[in-house]
Amino acid sequence: MDPLLIPIEQFQLFLVVLSRVAGFVGAIPVISSVQSPKQIKIALACSVALVLFPIMSPVIHIKELTMPSFALLIVAEVLVGTTIGFAAKLIFTSIEFGATVIGYQMGFAAANVFDPQTKGQVALISQFQNSFAILIFLAIDGHHIFIHTASISYQFLPPGQFNYSGGAVPYLIELTAHMFQMGIQFSAPVLAVLLLSGLILGILSRVFPQLNVFMLSFPINIGLAFTVISLTLGLLAMLLSREFDQLPERILNILTLLHN
């Protein structure tokens, strides 16, 4: 088919769909990694947009726009997709936050590894728990949430009708505050054991002054922390599954608040 025969209105509609889908795809935790080839990201976004375009085109109504207005609409649609992905990224950020605190309390303050997702140095325990969260996310088909949300998002938020001055920003702030609560929940069992270990070692240092508690605390804290982490992986998986199950509801709330 000659590309010149494609109506300009249809091509504009496809670009609108593609821009929002690209925001969704770029927010999927596994695919958003800088290690994922850009060609795969572009191919996935175009494939999903091609599938959704015939279904969404009757629902999307766009008036004639000038080039600057159309460019602003494209940027707005990408921003909507990125905002939705922010809700999912907060879950992984809470995991990294809680694991970083655990790592410092264990004595791994200087034991950092390269994180290919952020291209930065992160705590060793943080990288482990983040990888565990990604496995749980994929095991429960969490990536399907984004594709499903992309297909129904136009019913809740038509193109060009989003409004950040409503309740969307306070709701995002509330989700950010919830991130810190989740981080505390994820790290609480290990921190409680390490606090008890520090208390016991402090008492021993007073009873036996010749005991080198500082050198003794490193292997004890590391051993206790790894033991508790291994025993609470099931609890961590349950908490992660609960948060991922609530993700569709949170995304729909964001879309609704953006439309108000």
Q: How far apart are CA 153 and CA 70, in angstroms?
A: 20
pLDDT at 28: 72
Residue 136's CB is within 10 A of a number of other CB atoms, namely 19
Name the residue with tokens 């804290």.
Answer: 221
Successive 10-residue mean pLDDT values, the chain, 260 residues: 63 82 75 73 83 74 71 83 82 84 75 56 74 84 77 77 77 87 86 87 81 78 86 87 86 81
Query: Does residue 112 contact residue 121 with C-beta atoms inside 8 Å?
Result: yes
- Write down the pTM of the prediction: 0.78
pLDDT at 94: 87
Query: Does residue 30 contact residue 133 with C-beta atoms inside 8 Å?
Result: no
Helix, strand, coil percentages for the chain (3-state, nearest 5):
75, 5, 20
pLDDT at 253: 86
SS (H, E, C) 106-165: HCCCCCEEEECCCCEEEEHHHHHHHHHHHHHHHHCCHHHHHHHHHHHHHHHCCCCCCCCC
206, exposed or middle or buried, with CB in 10 Å at 0-12, 13-18, 19+? Answer: exposed
Q: How far apart are CA 220 and CA 106, in angstroms?
A: 9
pLDDT at 35: 67
